[in-house]
Amino acid sequence: MIANMSESKLDLLSRLWEEHMRAPFPPRMRGREIEGEDMVLLDADIAGCVLSSLSGPLDERRHKILLVWLAAVEKVLPSIDDEGVTEYYEHLREMAAVAVELGNATAR
């Protein structure tokens, strides 16, 4: 059953990744910090971890990094005042959460 759960999470993560790759980065977030977080770096680091996760289970270091970035995106979301930008970062948060869940499922 865990294999099926991991497989469906992997399919979900693949779909979310494809959607993310089609979505343009919100221009007004370039060079911007919210709650002390660089919004470009937040996007890039989560994307890098998600891409690694699509290639196989994350190592412990990347898994911990992803948890840190997941917490960071959750911290900044309430401070974003643009609906389109909020949707972009909510999608990023969802990808990170699925990648964390996938990593947790494969570690068992």
Q: What is the pLDDT of residues 25-78, one digit of tens each?
A: 999 999 999 999 999 999 999 999 999 999 988 888 889 999 999 999 999 999
Note the pLDDT of residue 107: 53
Q: Where are the domains of the chain?
A: 2-107
Q: What is the chain written as a DSSP string? A: -HHHHHHHHHHHHHHHHHHHHHSPP-GGGTT-EETTEEHHHHHHHHHHHHHHHHHSPPPHHHHHHHHHHHHHHHHHGGG---HHHHHHHHHHHHHHHHHHHHHHHHH-
